[in-house]
Structure 1
Amino acid sequence: MSVFWLALGAFAIGTEGFVIAGLLPAIATDLSISVSAAGQLVTAYALTYAVGSPILAVALNNIDRRTVLALALTTFIAGNLAAMVASSYPLLLASRMLMALGSGLCMPTALAVSVAVASPERRGRAVALVTSGLTVATVIGVPLGNLVGSLLGWRATFAMVALIGAVALAGLLLGLPRGLPRNTASLGERLAVARHGNVLVALLITILWGLGGFTVFTYFAVPLRGLGFDASQISLALLVFGGAAAIGNMLGGVLADRLGTLATAALGLAGMATALILHSLVLKLMPGQAHYAVLGTIFLWGISGWAFYPAQIASIIRIEPQASMIALSLNASSMYLGFAIGGALGGAVLATLSPNDLGWIGGTSVAASLLVHLARGWQARPKPVKIAG
């Protein structure tokens, strides 16, 4: 039962992390700032997560895991409550950074705890249940949070997330035992894994993938509003993306087993790059008639982009099987670093070009990720054996 509360915490974190994309126009209007400036709320969150997560994990290595989870969720809840009452952009920015510190501490700890509390034959399912909290958040939490924000104001969405986090915290305090194993890697161990050449290449692929996706996703609602989408239609578009992401995540795992991780990741990246570029083309060439076509590109983006991720995870585990948790922690930081750069790049695109240009610029980054991935696969292919004589 304690794993359920870990999954609920992940659900709250996933909801807050992704729902902001649908709320940016309303936040910008309320705080009298540009949408590109509001987008830096995503950049600040992602950058704080990327940097803060490994530092906090090392700093709190010797503290009981139950206490660490309680501290992480309390920080996350406090950040949401601060956002709910923030009267200015700097205060809202600081509150999102506070949320990121809580999220970045909670997620890797929750995964480690799920392994510790499960029996050996159920550990894989325990990890899958925790990560499913993030997946379910994209399908249910994000559209629901966007709808709540459209009906009651964007501050109500932060209140909703804080409430979900508080329920998860109460469940963990009541159901999680003390004295759980403390197996967080030291800073030296993390740096040793990061110096592995193949790991570095894999992290670069993740950064470019995250950068491309969040160049567009951060400002998800902006071009849709330009097409005439109202709040309920934007919630529907987020539901389409979340449903496609959930399908893609499952499909990626199946294909990785059948086709191999390299082929599956390549297909995912190729599909995502194509979808994002098509997203721009549809917006540019079919103004006023692009509603269904845009939903189609969003669906293709979600299913292909998230089919890449489980294949990439499996590939990284194979690179460093003896230090897989460290490698996956580095990959998570790299993903959020990509999200941070993508949010900043998308803001620059809005300031200098137009919302309709976000897709092809994000797609170009994903295409670059594909090229690096294919180059890695080419170098790793079996070399022909030369026979003398």
Structure 2
Amino acid sequence: MSVVWLALGAFAIGTEAFVIAGLLPAIAGDLSISVSAAGQLVTAYALTYAVGSPILAVALNNIDRRTVLALALSTFIAGNLAAIGASNYALLLASRMLMALGSGLCMPTALAVSVAVASPERRGRAVALVTSGLTVATVIGVPLGNLIGSLLGWRATFAMVAIISAVALAGLLLGLPRGLPRNTPSLSERLAVARHSNVVIALAITILWALGGFTVFTYFAVPLRGLGFDASQISLALLVFGGAAAIGNMLGGILADRLGTMTTAALGLAGMASALILHSLVLKLLAGQAHYAVLGAIFLWGLSGWAFYPAQIASIIRIDPQASMIALSLNASAMYLGFAIGGALGGAVLATLAPDDLGWIGGTSVAASLLVHLARGWQARPKPVKIAG
């Protein structure tokens, strides 16, 4: 039962991390700032997560896991409460960074705890249940949070996330035993894995994939509002994306087993790059008649982009199974670093170009990720044996 509370905490964290994309125009209007400036709320969150998560994991290595989870969720809740009362941009930015410290500590700890509390034959399912909290957040939490924000104001969305997180915290405090096993790698162990050439290439692929996606996703609502989408239609578009992401995540796992991780990842990256570029083309060429075409591009983006992810995870694990937990932790930091750069790049695009330029710029980054991926596969392919004579 305690794993369910871990999944609920992951649901709250996933909802807060992604729902901001639909709320940026409302936040910008309320705080009298530009949308591109509001987008840096995403950049600050992601950068704090990327840097803070491994540092906090090492710093709190010798503290009881139950206590660490309680601290992480309490920090995350405090960040959401601070956001509710934030009267200006600087305070809201600080609250988002506080949330990122809490979520960056909570997620890797939750995954480790799910393994510790489950019996050996159920550990895979326990991890899957925790990560499903993030997937369900994209399907249910994000559209719901966006709808609540549009009806009651963006601060109400942070209140919703705080309440869900508080329920998860209460469940964990009541349900988790003390003295859980600890297995957090040291900083030197993380750096040793990070220096592995194949890991470095994999992290570069993840960064470019995440950068391309969040160049567009951070400002998800901006071009849609330009097309005449209202709040309920933006929530529908987020639901389409979340549903496609959930399907893509499952499909990616199946295809990785059947076609191999390299082929599946390549297909996912190619589909995502095409979808993002198509997103821009539809906005530029079809203008006010682009509603259904945009939703189609969004569906393809969510489907293919998240089909890549499980294949990438599986390929990283195969690099060195003994150090897979460290490599996956580094990959999570790389993903959030990509999110941070993408948020900043998208803001620069809005400041200098137009909302309908976001897609092709994000798609170009994903295409670069595909090229690095293909180059890695070409390097790793078996070399023909030359026979003398």
Identity between Structure 1 and Structure 2 (%): 92
Q: Deviations over 1:284-318 (max 9, x none)?
A: 00000000000000000000000000000000000
For residue 182 of structure 1, give the secondary structure of its aligned residue in structure 2: coil
CA drift at 1:214: 0.1
CA distance in 2, matches of 1:320, 1:134: 26
For residue 344 of structure 1, give the secondary structure of its aligned residue in structure 2: helix
CA distance in 2, matches of 1:77, 1:173: 15
CA drift at 1:249: 0.2
CA distance in 2, matches of 1:352, 1:56: 37
Match of 1:347 in 2: 347
Match of 1:48 in 2: 48
CA distance in 2, matches of 1:76, 1:201: 32
| Comparing 379-388 and 158-167, the one that deviates more | 379-388
For residue 62 of structure 2, give the secondary structure of its aligned residue in structure 1: coil
TM-score, normalisation: structure 1: 1.00
CA distance in 2, matches of 1:84, 1:245: 29
CA distance in 2, matches of 1:221, 1:44: 19
CA distance in 1, matches of 2:365, 2:288: 28
CA distance in 1, matches of 2:260, 2:71: 39
Residue segments in structure 2 that go unaligned for 5+ positions in a row: none
CA distance in 2, matches of 1:84, 1:261: 43
CA drift at 1:384: 1.1
CA distance in 2, matches of 1:356, 1:254: 34
CA distance in 2, matches of 1:365, 1:133: 28
Q: Deviations over 1:79-132 (max 9, x none)?
A: 000001100000000000000000000000000000000000000000000000
Match of 2:11 in 1: 11
CA distance in 1, matches of 2:2, 2:388: 62
CA drift at 1:388: 2.2
CA drift at 1:386: 1.7
Match of 2:172 in 1: 172
Q: Deviations over 1:187-229 (max 9, x none)?
A: 0000000000000000000000000000000000000000000
CA drift at 1:370: 0.1
Q: Deviations over 1:11-52 (max 9, x none)?
A: 000000000000000000000000000000000000000000
Q: How many residues align?
A: 389
For residue 287 of structure 2, give the secondary structure of its aligned residue in structure 1: coil
CA drift at 1:76: 0.2
CA distance in 2, matches of 1:387, 1:117: 55
CA drift at 1:320: 1.6
For residue 288 of structure 2, give the secondary structure of its aligned residue in structure 1: coil
Alignment RMSD (CA, Å): 0.3
Q: Deviations over 1:318-364 (max 9, x none)?
A: 00211100000000000000000000000000000000000000000
CA drift at 1:385: 1.5
CA drift at 1:383: 1.0
CA distance in 2, matches of 1:382, 1:178: 50
CA distance in 2, matches of 1:73, 1:52: 15
CA distance in 1, matches of 2:133, 2:121: 21
Match of 2:197 in 1: 197
CA distance in 2, matches of 1:106, 1:310: 21
For residue 99 of structure 2, give the secondary structure of its aligned residue in structure 1: helix
For residue 61 of structure 1, give the secondary structure of its aligned residue in structure 2: coil
Residue segments in structure 1 that go unaligned for 5+ positions in a row: none
CA distance in 1, matches of 2:71, 2:114: 17
CA distance in 2, matches of 1:11, 1:380: 38
CA distance in 1, matches of 2:320, 2:27: 42
For residue 288 of structure 1, give the secondary structure of its aligned residue in structure 2: helix
For residue 387 of structure 2, give the secondary structure of its aligned residue in structure 1: coil
Match of 1:87 in 2: 87
Structure 1 runs of 4+ aligned residues shifted over 3 Å read none
CA drift at 1:387: 1.9
CA distance in 2, matches of 1:322, 1:255: 24
CA distance in 2, matches of 1:104, 1:324: 18
CA distance in 2, matches of 1:381, 1:104: 36
For residue 128 of structure 1, give the secondary structure of its aligned residue in structure 2: helix
CA distance in 1, matches of 2:71, 2:200: 31
For residue 164 of structure 1, give the secondary structure of its aligned residue in structure 2: helix
Q: Deviations over 1:235-280 (max 9, x none)?
A: 0000000000000000000000000000000000000000000000
